[in-house]
Copies of this chain bind each other. A is one copy, B any other.
Amino acid sequence: MYISKSFIPILKNNPSEAQIKSHQLMLRVGMIKQSSAGIYSWLPLGFKIMKKIEQIVREEQNRIGAQEILMPTIQSSEIWKESGRYEDYGEEMLRIKDRQDREMLYGPTNEELVTDIFRSSVKSYKSLPQLLYHIQWKFRDEIRPRFGIMRCREFYMKDAYSFDVNDEEAFFSYNKFFLSYLKTFKRLDLKAIPMAADTGPIGGNLSHEFIILAETGESKIYTDKRIFDVISDGTKLEKKSLKDLRKKYEQFYSVTDEKFDKKEFEGKVTESNRLITKGIEVGHIFYFGDKYSKPMGGSVDLPEGKKDFVKMGSYGIGVSRLVGAIIEAKYDSKNEVMKWPISVAPYDISIIPMINKNETSALDKSNKINLELEKNNIEALIDDTDENLSSKIKKMNLIGAPYQIIIGKQTEGNLLEFKEIGEETQKKSLEEIIKIIKERKANN
C-alpha cells in the first residue's frame, strides 16, 4: 500500500486534548476520529489493528469450544425488568423510546438477553455445557468520557456466557475461560495478570480481572511480584489441569483496589515482594450461579427427573480497549516510537525510499521489493511521498510496523538497510529479511 493512497491522516504534533499516550498516538496517526463525546470512528489504520485483535480473541474462544452468536445492540427493557437490573443500572444505561413509545435500551452487557435465548432453546442437562459468545458494540453513557477509547461510551467488546448443570461443571467452564484469556493476551504480547476482583453490577461471588501494568491505568493493584513469573504453558483443557493453573496464580496475593486489605497484604507478602502500582483492565470474568437464570426462569431437566436453574458465568474482553492498552504498554512516547506486536501490526514492514523529483529509482526498487514481500504474505506500507527521509522515518515510527527497510543513497547491490523498530540498522539481503519476518509471524 502506498501511503499517498492510504487514508492515514497524520498530525504534525500531539493533539492538545489528549492526556494519555494511547489517546495521543491514536489521534496523531489517524487511527480514530472523535465523532461526538466518547464516540469514535475507526479509520483504516486503527480498524486494521482492532480487527486483528478481534480475530485472535475469536480464535481463542473457539479453541475452548465456545460458539459465536451475535445479539443486537438495542434491547427491550422487559428482560431487564425480569432480572431486576432495569432500575439498578442507573444513568450509565442509554435508555431509548422507540416510535411506538416502547422502552428500549442500548445494551451495556448481555446477561439478560443471552439468558432469554438460552431459556427458549435448551431444556435438558444433556445439552450442557453451552458456551456462547458474541463480539458486539456496547454503550455505557459515561458521565465524563475521557482518555480516548479507554473510557468512551460506545465500545467493542467480546462477552461470553457459560451455562452448566451444577457448580462443579460451572467452575470447569470458568477455568476454561481463565486459560483462554491468558492465551489471548499472550498472543497480543501482553503480560496480563489475573486478580481477584469485585463483581460490581454483574453480581456473583467469584471474579477475576485481567490487568496489564501501565502507569496511566485506572486500576490500583496490590500484588506479590512473583505472580508475574507464573506460566500457563502446558495447561490442558481438563478439570484438574485447569484447577492447578488457578492454584498456581492464587498462591500469590493479587487484588484490585476494592478487594484490598492492608493487613492481609502485609501478612501474606514479604516486603521485598510487594508491588503496589497501576494497571489497565483488559478482561473480566464472573461466576454468578443462578443470579439471572432464577428470576428469568432458565432451568433444565436433570437426570433424576427434577429441574434446576442453570449455573451461569460471564466473560468479557474489551476489544477496542485493547488497542489502547497495547499502546499504553508498548509506546515509547519520549522517542515517539511505537512497535506493534507482529500479531496485530497494521503492516508487517515499512518501506522508506528516498525520493527526489524526477528521480524514482528508489521507488522502483521499493515496488520490486514489495512484489517479493507480497508473494510471501508480508504486507508493506510504502512511503511514496517526496518528503525527506528523516520525516518519513518519524512518521513510520509512529505508525508502528515492526520492521523497516530504508532505501537511501547508500543502498547498492543486494544488501538492504533493514531495522527492527528501536534497534540498530543492519545490512540484510531481501531473502534474509523475508525469513526473519516469516519466522516471527509463524510464532503467533
Interface residues of A (CB under 8 A from B): 4-7, 9, 30, 33, 35-37, 39-44, 47-48, 50, 65, 67-76, 78, 91-92, 94, 96, 98-100, 102, 104, 106, 113, 116-117, 120-122, 126-127, 130, 132, 137, 139, 141, 143, 153-154
Contacts and interface: CB of A to CB of B under 8 A. Distances in A.
A113 B68 CA distance: 30
Contact of A67 (B4, B7, B100, B120): B7
What is the interface of chain A mostly: helix, strand, loop, or mixed? Answer: mixed
A70 B33 CA distance: 10
Contact of A121 (B9, B67, B121, B122): B9
7 contacts: A7-B130, A37-B100, A39-B72, A41-B69, A41-B70, A42-B69, A98-B141
Nearest to A121: B9
Copies in the complex: 2
A71 B4 contact: no
A337 B5 CA distance: 47
B69 A7 contact: yes
Given A99-B91, A99-B141, A104-B36, A117 B75 contact: no
Contacts of A127: 4
A70 B47 contact: yes
B94 A30 contact: no
B72 A30 contact: no
A73 B7 CA distance: 21
A113 B41 contact: yes
Contacts of A113: 35, 41
Given A96-B96, A120-B33, A141-B99, A44 B69 contact: yes
Nearest to A154: B72
Given A99-B141, A113-B41, A6 B94 contact: no
A67 B106 contact: no
A423 B122 CA distance: 34
B72 A35 contact: yes
Contacts of A94: 74, 96, 98-99
A31 to B, nearest CB: 11
Contacts of A68: 44, 47-48
A43 to B, nearest CB: 5
